[in-house]
Amino acid sequence: MAAKAPTKIADVEEQRQKDHLLELAHNHACSSHKLFDFLQEASLTNQQVAALLRNYDAHASVLRRLLLNAAGMMPEAAVTYVLENVRNEYGNGDFSENHQGQLRSLAWDCGVSPEEFFSCRIHPDIGAFIKAASTFYAPGNSCPQSLGRIKKAAITAGAITATELLAIKEFAYLQKAFSRRGLAHHIWFKHVEIEVEHSDESLDLALHFAKEADGLKCVEYGMLGVLDANVRLYDGLLAVAQNHQSVSQAV
């Protein structure tokens, strides 16, 4: 009986930390970005589909490589939290089912040609996101001294958690927009469920580090860095989609 009490206290503390990280993400400005209002109402033209998915693909491609790199940076006990996510991205052992291919097949199913897709320019805000997010996924030696005992893997864990928590919302709203193209059930939108699993795993990863001294501060640092970067990401995605909307309306 006596052995159960500390476990319960640990569980309560873990839940408190999890709620804190969820609040951090949900209360951040990126969580209420105008991109979500746009996707809620948008009837996407093919030009918008091409620009939006081309730019989404650009950022997701870099995040996939950063995630792969992150698995190698984790201490042994934390690797498993990342592996399932990476394995999903690369098709669970069957590369023909990789997620980049799914994204692009959504564009083709809309009637966008590969030529149209690849001719879309990558918005500077997407480039800014990639640059900023990379510094939190793969932290260098310039982390603030205020973090105390620097835990680079914990910063990476925070970065992954921010991405996964917001991805739930991204896919839910992208699905709404593509439902008006009759593609709500396209295989890429399995992400609506997959991202819930990935966000649970990333929260477990974050909590793994939050138990250590300075771990929570490092997790928060990584999370906030990517949440801030997400504002640039969403600025860029909204800009390319709106630009193409105004062009198509003007024609």
- The answer to whether 59 contacts Fe ion (rule: CB under 5 A) is no
Give which of 212, 180, 8, 62 is closest to 110, Cα–Cα.
180
Shortest Å, Cβ 99 to Fe ion: 3
Q: How far apart are CA 128 and CA 131, in angstroms?
A: 5
* Largest CA-CA distance found in the chain, in angstroms, rounded: 75
Q: Which residue is nearest to Fe ion (CB)?
A: 99
Touching Fe ion, residues 149-188 (CB under 5 A): none
Cα 249 from Cα 251, distance rounded (Å): 6
Candidate ranges 98-106, 114-122, 155-163, 204-212; the one touching Fe ion (CB under 5 A) = 98-106
Residues binding Fe ion: number (CB under 5 A): 1
C-beta of 60 vs 79, nearer to Fe ion: 60
Rounded least distance, CB 167 to Fe ion, Å: 8
Helix, strand, coil percentages in the chain from 3-state DSSP, rounded to 5: 80, 0, 20
**Which C-beta is closer to Fe ion: that of 45 or that of 100?**
100
Minimum distance between the CB of residue 154 and Fe ion, rounded to whole angstroms? 23
Please select the residue that binds Fe ion; options are 28, 54, 99, 186, rule is CB under 5 A: 99
Closest to Fe ion by CB, 85 vs 156, is 85
The pairs formed by 212-215 with CB atoms below 8 angstroms and a separation of 24 or more are: 212/151, 212/154, 213/148, 213/149, 214/147, 214/148, 214/149, 214/150, 214/151, 214/154, 215/151, 215/154
Min separation Cβ 122 and Fe ion, Å: 19
Catalog residues that contact Fe ion under the rule CB under 5 A. Answer: 99
